[in-house]
Structure 1
Amino acid sequence: MRALLRYFATGPDSIGTASPTEVDREFHYQRRNVIVIITLCYGLAYVCRLALNVVKKPLMDAGVFTPEQLGIIGSTLLYGYALGKFSNGFLADHAHVGRFFAAGLLLSALANFGMGLSELLWLSALLWGLNGWFQGFGAPASVVALAHWYSNHERGRYYGIWSTAHSIGEGLTYLGVAWLIADPPKGLGLHWPWGFWVPALICLAAALLVWRFLPDRPQARGLPSVADWRGDHGAQAQAAASNGVSVLQTQLRIMTMPAIWILALASSSMYVTRYAINSWGNVYLQEIRGFDLFDANFFIFLNTAAGILGCLAYGFASDKLFDARRPPANLLFGLMELLPLFVIFWGPRDPVILAAALVVYGFGLSGILASLGGLFAVDIAPNGWRVRRWDLSASSVTWARACRITSAAS
């Protein structure tokens, strides 16, 4: 057990001997790896999270589960995911995020393999609830990686890029898995279990990529913190650094911040609308609006495709137009999320109007998701790994080196 814990734990701070040029080169290389890997692989993780949403209608048509039973199974994932994000967020602060994220992807893939074999309500509910817990490894690991490798005044843009993973994963699921179930290649005997097995194979590939390419935090690799490297210390980080507290103390302090709990409440409210569309939107379009399986999922795909632009637009707007202040951007994108819902559920049945409403909804939702899903909390909460009590008598060489690197970067 100790060996396992050591394997997943982040490495200790390492005093590097690299020149400022080598430090710059290493930061640029690793930052590129971080944003590419967490965006790609978190998007691929989504196919294991949303597979049930696509195969709900085939499961009902095959008489495997009733809509009520599918609602029970689906809800276990959401509660498992909520608990997973809460607990795994604490763990990710202490973890080697590449190994931690990879483990979640591997376990999620195994849960999906099991779902393709189960026709028992209790077993499917258990597996899907565990899948929610395992899916809760990805977001905390990705957000911690962003906090370690990107500084305050650039984080909104990079967080926006990472948040496109939500839409990328949803698009892959609603088009790819829907096509697999609705129009399977002849002779392969594909049916609803493959709606779980193919996502599982995709998650296994993503786990290998994360394990290989997502690095530990900069200090564990002999680099200064990204705030020191860029000379970009947020107010919260400076306040925390002046107090010299540990990671655990920082975590406990965050738990007492009212703003964090307000963000959690706002985020949960946003997720009600998000999962109403993600979980039942395609069934609603088939049962109430009369579309077939592929067309219904294509409409949901339009929503997710618009979400890619929404994430990018939110990151740019909040960083550049509002100088890294998130509330004004939250209000703007929140209205774009809310108003189209009235058209989707109570508007005309015209497919063009419905498609337009889903596009605007997806654009606004993904923007607000980027903020309430983690960016805003990262901004206002201190980062424990940036908190250090410098002992000038014992660490004068290290301190001087850090100052030189900071000056060179500035």
Structure 2
Amino acid sequence: MIGLFKPPKPRERLPDERIESTFSSLRLRVFLGIFVGYAGYYLVRKNFTLAMPYLIEEGFSKTELGFALSGVAIAYGLSKFLMGSVSDRSSARAFMTTGLLVSAVIMILMGTVPLATSSVGIMFVLLMANGWFQGMGWPPSGRTMVHWFSASERGTKMAIWNVAHNVGGGLVGPIAILAIAIFVDWHAVLYLHGLFALVVTVFIWIMVRDTPQSEGLPSIEEYKNDYPRAFKYEKSHEQEFTTREIFFQSVLNNKLLWAIAVANAFVYLVRYGVLDWAPTYLSEVKNFSFQDSGWAYALYEWAGIPGTLLAGWMSDKIFAGRRAPVSIIYLILTLICVVIYWLNPVGNPGIDVAMLISIGFLIYGPVMLIGVHALDLAPKKAAGTAAGFTGLFGYVGGAVSANIAIGALVDAYGWDAGFTLIAAACVMAILLIGLTWNAEKRSVENEYDPN
């Protein structure tokens, strides 16, 4: 990498008496940076879904809006994978800041320039551009996480960081309600989120740092005396990898990574099949107001916070670092809640909201654990690409299906067809994650001796 994105070089090692205090303070600092930063990304990723009921009133069909929304998922999935390899060779600070800055500007333009929402084609192009720059959020966060937190603590720490999804996503609804209340214009649902995201870019730049070595510290493995078990750790893993080494020696030849990537497509179909269509479904079928739908949307996201934390803790403490058992338990319970949410008769809003909260609590566990599993399976200099690989399947396969397929199915056959697809995706995700059960158990039982 050159210019702005060039990663900082290792600095001379600090005196031993300063290692502990410096490491502790910087770990907290960079964690806060990527947490608040990634929450900011979510402010401008899914706010468009809350504008969709207004666009339907203006004459757009669900199929058309599902197609437009798919631009985010298609570009994001490709970007998360391809830009992941760029991120693995870039400064996490500069990379993450740049992505959110451009994404925020795009959303402000969509809310302030009438031409931007005048046709499906224009919305698709702009949302696709937004999705591409959204793909610059997760990879540098993953890169930061594997450089500053060791393997045995990563499940819990990643669970806490992953809550940023829910904090940012959960703020989308209340900010949208605030935007309508203040500006009395649905376009504010787009541009107000963008303005908040611009503030977050400054925070990222101030807080995030690249690697411990760039701050005069030892590697996290040396500092914690905690080395990876899913593959043989070598000191060469501290050096930057070439693109060929990242793709062909660490990612594309990894069978377990392929298995969880395909499973991720079905997990994301469930996640976004419920979330993206919740405002429209609750408004059309369950007679919810815009305010009620907005709060239900927020509760879905916020419920993921305790669910994600519990999933991370269970995988580390109860299942000794295994990710598959917790994911399967969560997905079985998700399937039950999806069916109840679907079949609950009109006039029982308490049950609708309770099921949305339950699905939110449960689905983010597998979302997070598949990401952690990807980081576990690859050397840290390939971490962004490994996570991006699972994201490619999750977004291009799962989220696109949630946007286009569900929109088309509902237009053609009604909501029952859409929910049948979501339920089937739950079953497929369970089966595919189950394929990793024994292999993951064997890899976690391996121990690595660095001496």
User: What is the TM-score of this pair, normalised by structure 1?
Assistant: 0.87
Deviates more, 1:344-353 or 1:237-246: 237-246
Structure 1 CA distance for aligned equivalents of residues 237 and 302 of structure 2: 44
Give 3-state SS (helix, strand or coil) of 1:192's partner: coil
**How far 1:353 moved relative to its partner?**
1.9
Q: Does 1:259 align with 2:256?
A: yes
**How far 1:336 moved relative to its partner?**
2.5
Query: After superposition, where does 1:370-409 map in structure 2 within 5 Å?
Result: 370-372=368-370, 374-384=371-381
2:219 aligned to 211, 225, 229, which one? 225
**How far 1:147 moved relative to its partner?**
0.6
Structure 1 residues 10 and 242, CA, compared in 2 at 3 Å: closer, same or farther? closer
Structure 1 CA distance for aligned equivalents of residues 34 and 24 of structure 2: 16
Deviates more, 1:266-275 or 1:237-246: 237-246
**How far 1:196 moved relative to its partner?**
1.1
**How far 1:245 moved relative to its partner?**
7.9
Counterpart for residue 20 of structure 2: 24
Q: Write the letter of the residue equivalent to 2:200.
A: A
Query: After superposition, where does 1:127-142 map in structure 2 within 5 Å?
Result: 127-142=126-141
1:178-229 CA-partner distances (Å, limit 9, x unpaired)? 3422xx23xxx44122111111111111111111110011112221111110
Counterpart for residue 324 of structure 1: 321
Query: After superposition, where does 1:23-172 map in structure 2 within 5 Å?
Result: 23-63=19-59, 65-116=60-111, 117=113, 118=116, 119-172=118-171
**How far 1:239 moved relative to its partner?**
3.8
Q: Write the letter of the residue equivalent to 2:53.
A: K
Structure 1 residues 353 and 161, CA, compared in 2 at 3 Å: closer, same or farther? same
**How far 1:139 moved relative to its partner?**
0.8
Structure 1 CA distance for aligned equivalents of residues 355 and 165 of structure 2: 19
Counterpart for residue 427 of structure 2: none
Asked whether the 8 Å contact 2:176–2:294 carries over to 1, the reply is: no
Counterpart for residue 442 of structure 2: none
User: What is the TM-score of this pair, normalised by structure 2?
Assistant: 0.79
Q: Write the letter of the residue equivalent to 1:208.
A: V
**How far 1:244 moved relative to its partner?**
9.0
Q: Give ranges in structure 1 of 5+ residues lacking alignment.
A: 387-410
Structure 2 CA distance for aligned equivalents of residues 384 and 162 of structure 1: 20
Structure 1 CA distance for aligned equivalents of residues 257 and 234 of structure 2: 16
Structure 2 CA distance for aligned equivalents of residues 312 and 233 of structure 1: 23
Structure 1 CA distance for aligned equivalents of residues 324 and 62 of structure 2: 38
Asked whether the 8 Å contact 2:246–2:382 carries over to 1, the reply is: no
Asked whether the 8 Å contact 1:111–1:127 carries over to 2, the reply is: yes
2:356 aligned to 352, 355, 358, which one? 358
Asked whether the 8 Å contact 1:48–1:203 carries over to 2, the reply is: yes
The Cα RMSD (Å) is 1.9
How many percent identity over aligned positions? 28
Asked whether the 8 Å contact 2:308–2:368 carries over to 1, the reply is: yes
Counterpart for residue 312 of structure 2: 315
Structure 2 CA distance for aligned equivalents of residues 145 and 244 of structure 1: 13
Structure 1 residues 244 and 303, CA, compared in 2 at 3 Å: closer, same or farther? closer
Q: Write the letter of the residue equivalent to 2:255.
A: P
Structure 2 CA distance for aligned equivalents of residues 41 and 246 of structure 1: 24
Q: Give ranges in structure 2 of 5+ residues lacking alignment.
A: 384-451
Give 3-state SS (helix, strand or coil) of 1:159's partner: helix
Structure 2 CA distance for aligned equivalents of residues 245 and 294 of structure 1: 51
Work out which of the two has the higher radius of gyration on C-alpha atoms and give 1 or 2.
1
Structure 1 CA distance for aligned equivalents of residues 237 and 47 of structure 2: 46
